[in-house]
């Protein structure tokens, strides 16, 4: 049995003085909530990179065990770190009003 992890990350750049709970940020709703006045960049999983074969034997061979979860999460962190790292210039341009 194999397990695949899929995920998406939204990084919001909040305008100066906004704060995380400011009144003019949209209330949280739906799967990710509103972004309000924030500029947002979305990252999604790299295709095929977060797959782990189940190492467990109970209740059946190939069952998911904690080491599989760790493998999947470590793959996710590596993927997101790489993707966000390549977009730092764009993200920081948000601070100057550029997209």
Q: How many domains does the chain have?
A: 1
The answer to whether 36 and 23 are in contact (CB under 8 A) is no
> 31-45 pLDDT, tens per residue?
566 666 678 888 999
The answer to whether the predicted template modeling score (pTM) of the entire model surpasses 0.85 is no
Element at 53 (helix H, strand E): strand 51-53
Whole-angstrom distance, CA of residue 24 vs CA of residue 81: 30
Identify the residue with better confidence: 16 or 67: 67
Residue range(s) defining the domain that contains residue 57: 2-94
- Please report whether residue 43 resides in a domain: yes
Separation of CA 72 from chain center: 13
Going by the DSSP 8-state scheme, the letter that residue 63 receives in this structure is: B
In a domain, 61, yes or no: yes
Q: How confident is the model at residue 79, as a pLDDT?
A: 93
Residue predicted with more confidence, 15 or 47: 47
Q: Is the residue at 99 inside a domain?
A: no
pLDDT in tens, 61-80: 889 999 999 999 999 999 99
Task: Decide if 47 is inside a domain.
Answer: yes
Question: Which residues share a beta bridge with 52?
Answer: 3
How far is residue 16's CA from residue 97's CA, in Å, rounded to a whole number?
Answer: 11
For position 20, what pLDDT does the model report? 58
């Amino acid at each position: 049995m194999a397990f695949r992890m899929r995920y998406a990350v939204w990084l919001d750049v909040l305008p100066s003085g906004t704060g995380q709970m400011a009144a003019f940020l949209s209330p949280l709703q739906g799967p990710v909530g509103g972004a309000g006045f924030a500029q947002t960049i979305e990252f999604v999983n790299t295709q095929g990179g977060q797959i782990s074969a189940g190492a467990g034997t109970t209740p059946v061979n190939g069952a998911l065990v904690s080491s599989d979860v760790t493998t999947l999460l470590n793959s996710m962190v590596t993927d997101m770190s790489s993707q966000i790292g390549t977009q730092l210039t764009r993200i920081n341009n948000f601070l100057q009003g550029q997209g």
